[in-house]
Chain A
Amino acid sequence: MTATRMRRLRAALLLAFAALIAKLFVTGEVGKYMAPTLNPLTAATGVVLAGMGAVELLRRTDHRAGHAPEPAPDHTTDEALTYLLVIVPLALGLLVTPRTLGASALGGDHIVPLLLTFPAGPAPASSVSSTPDSRIEDVAQLVASLRRGDPTRGRRVYARGMVMRSDSLAAQEFALLRYSITHCAADARPVGLLVIASGDPGLPSGQWVEVEGVVSSQEREGSALVSINADRVVAIEEPADAYL
């Protein structure tokens, strides 16, 4: 491969990375990979990569304007390997419609240690009545309430997440799973809630659901699990804001 062709290829790859980032923003898929806090940085990266690609193309023009012919570099195999490898994330990012990390990322046997627990010690007084005003809206608010030590037992809760079934749970029980990410999906941490439905909801692992019910506590394996006694479990599409 001549140096000019190599620069064209490099420019194309740089521009393809910029195009990938643009595609993720346009389709909203960026949220499946990255935390929203990194969006400005990711967008700026796309702009810089596009600029670098343009400069690579201009370098080719400079050469054609009057410099001597370039010698063909003798790293053909290494280059081919590099470009082949670079194409892999580009192809996956551009061609695949990503979904949030699924229940399969957790494994299925050791589910109870993954579930959210109440802090050890006496439960705070449940002074809040189950009025619509005191309803906990989704998992993030429930987690924040638990962190602050707010009373949560007995409050109504609305939560969305993935169903995760396990042999260690009863037929009418499942874990409601969400992932919390800091930067990207690679640092995802599972947040699981035990849901006790009135009957077998008959939903497969990985199905997104919304659940409404009352927060309660269930003793399992020596821990007080944060549980939802559900009076409504409905299958939904995967939401855009799937990560916490």
Chain B
Amino acid sequence: MVLALVLPSRLNDFSVVFVSIILQSLPFLLVGVFASAFVQQYLSEAVLTRWLPRQRLPLVLVSSVFGFVAPVCDCGVIPLARRLRAKGVPLYAATTFILAAPVVNPVVLVSTAFAFQGNWTIVALRFGMTLSVAVTVGALASMLPPVASGAKQGTTPLGGAGAEAVSSDERPISPARELVAHATAEYFDVLFFIILGALFTAAAQAIVPRGDLVALGGTRVASVLVLMPVATLLSICSEADAFVARAFAANFSLGSVLAFMTIGQIVDLRNAFLLFQTLGRRMVFLIVVVAYALVFIEGVVITGILPSL
């Protein structure tokens, strides 16, 4: 017997958005957890130490463009960053990578160009705005004193279902199986927070009608301020947000549309819980303050120079 429940309209909308976020996240999450497992298994700390710059600023700069080597979206970036952290990559470098990689990667840049009909000025501005936030936060974070607690933030299991990972008592017999075991442990660690974020995002989308969001575009003076929290609330994947932003472009200024695409990949509701668990409260606070301030200023300046597409 197959159950086939039909939900009331508003609840159906919530359910459809919620399940669709999970379904959309899964493939990218799998890429992230397998990349993380690969780093865990095959990339030694010695190799990373040899490859990465020792100076702070060069390391921040390298981390900000690492997305070209590992093009993972916002669903996959955190598992990979956690593993790099566990391998000794400093917190500020991992943070820079987390902030930049969802946008500063070839897949997202091409999808942005596609959404805006080949307007490479918008692609360049999006690239620049994201990079500016990632490098600024990374540089500031590199100057912060280390956290007092003993454990490295974001390196330990999150305490969820993947916490026991691959225990020493029952090592899988083949490297391939070990890789899958690491990926599975990471998958359940991260999935918990993805689902939590999806719940809040779907609820926000169900509560705040899309019509009201579009209608806000009429207030052009504050359009940058309006679209930034909307981006945080909607939490759209970096490979799809340009298409939504394109729809806003009819009612909002170019600066606000760029602010929407930039802040949405840095401060989003869907990844908020995971970000807290991975980077800690202090770093998340720094990210939110710097990102919102910088993106707002950049959005307003761009609106002044280039009011529309």
Residues of A near any B CB (own CB < 8 A): 3, 6, 9-10, 13-14, 17, 21, 24, 32-34, 38, 41-42, 44-45, 48-49, 51-52, 55-56, 58-59, 62-63, 67-71, 73, 75, 78-79, 81-83, 85-86, 88-89, 92-93, 95-111, 113-114, 180, 182-190, 206
Contact = CB atoms under 8 A, between A and B. Distances in A.
Nearest to A68: B169
B26 A45 contact: yes
B146 interface: no
Contacts of A69: 169
B212 A52 contact: no
B253 to A, nearest CB: 16
Nearest to A24: B23
Interface residues of B, number: 69
B214 A62 contact: no
Contacts of B15: 92, 96, 98
A186 B231 CA distance: 12
Contacts of B247: 180, 189
Contact of A73 (B163, B237, B240): B163
A98 B19 contact: yes
B183 interface: yes
Given A6-B164, A71-B169, A75-B164, A183 B192 contact: no
Interface stretch (B42-50, B125-133, B173-181): B173-181
Chain A: interface secondary structure? helix
B159 interface: yes
Interface of B: 3-7, 9-10, 12-13, 15-24, 26-27, 30, 158-161, 163-164, 167, 169-170, 172-173, 177, 180-181, 183-184, 187-188, 191-192, 195-196, 198-199, 201-202, 205-206, 209-212, 214-215, 217-218, 234-237, 239-241, 243-244, 247, 251
Contact of A106 (B21, B169, B209): B209
Given A86-B192, A95-B3, A105-B206, A187 B169 contact: no
Contact of A185 (B16, B211, B235): B16
